[in-house]
């Protein structure tokens, strides 16, 4: 029985997902596969080179540690300066973008405003022409109705077009 369960455990170990290796906790940090195992897994290429240097030539390892320690503050200052200047550049660029967009909005408005005024004027003139034509039509229709040439139905049909004064002649029905 133990042989079969060992075989199943080996198969299960073989088919674990790749991230499962970081969930086991060992007895010491070196054996741990938890967070420390993940960190060791990610830094392994760099750590193996440093470990070789530190093992075979300790003064070079001391130099690398000292250089890293002494450069930490200047690198942090440089990254801070990079962040501040990037934000300033974005702020200046954003301000100028708003300025340029406003300029082009005014330029576009200067072009669009006369077009809108012309379109409104054309629509108003068209309205006046059509209203006048309709008025002439109603006057003519009323005049023809008054002298008896056109009846209540008119051209459109019974009740379709009313006379100019709005009255109707009940007796005049073209369909009788």
Question: Residue 22's domain spans which residues?
Answer: 15-56
DSSP 8-state class, residue 21: G
77, part of any domain: no
Residue 27: pLDDT band with limits 50, 70, 90: very low
Number of domains in the chain: 1
69, part of any domain: no
112, part of any domain: no
Secondary structure (3-state) at 166: coil
Average pLDDT of span 106-130: 94
21, part of any domain: yes
Backbone angles phi, psi at 72, to 5 degrees: -65, -45
State the number of CA atoms in the 13 A half-sphere of 27 facing the CB.
Answer: 0
> Would you state the torsion angle of the CA atoms of residues 111, 117, 118, 119, taken in this order, to the nearest 10 degrees?
100
Those residues with Cβ within 8 angstroms of residue 141's Cβ, 6 or more apart along the chain or in another chain: 150, 154, 161, 163, 164
41, part of any domain: yes
- Tell me which residue has tokens 């008025």: 135
Residue 176: pLDDT band with limits 50, 70, 90: very low
157, part of any domain: no
Percent of the chain predicted with pLDDT > 90 = 31
């Amino acid at each position: 029985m133990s042989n079969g369960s060992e075989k199943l455990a080996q198969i299960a170990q073989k088919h674990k997902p790749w991230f499962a290796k970081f969930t086991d906790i060992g007895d010491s940090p070196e054996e741990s596969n938890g967070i420390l195992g993940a960190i060791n897994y990610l830094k392994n290429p760099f750590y193996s080179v440093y470990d070789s240097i530190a093992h075979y030539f300790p003064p070079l390892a001391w130099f690398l540690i000292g250089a890293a320690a002494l450069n930490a503050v200047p690198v942090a200052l440089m990254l801070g300066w990079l962040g501040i200047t990037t934000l300033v550049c974005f702020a200046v660029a954003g301000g100028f973008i708003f300025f340029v967009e406003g300029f082009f909005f005014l330029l576009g408005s200067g072009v669009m405003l006369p077009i809108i005024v012309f379109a409104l004027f054309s629509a108003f003139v068209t309205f006046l022409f059509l209203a006048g034509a309709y008025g002439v039509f109603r006057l003519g229709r009323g005049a023809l109705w008054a002298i008896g040439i056109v009846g209540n139905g008119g051209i459109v049909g019974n009740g379709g077009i009313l006379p100019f004064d709005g009255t109707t002649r009940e007796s005049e029905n073209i369909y009788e």
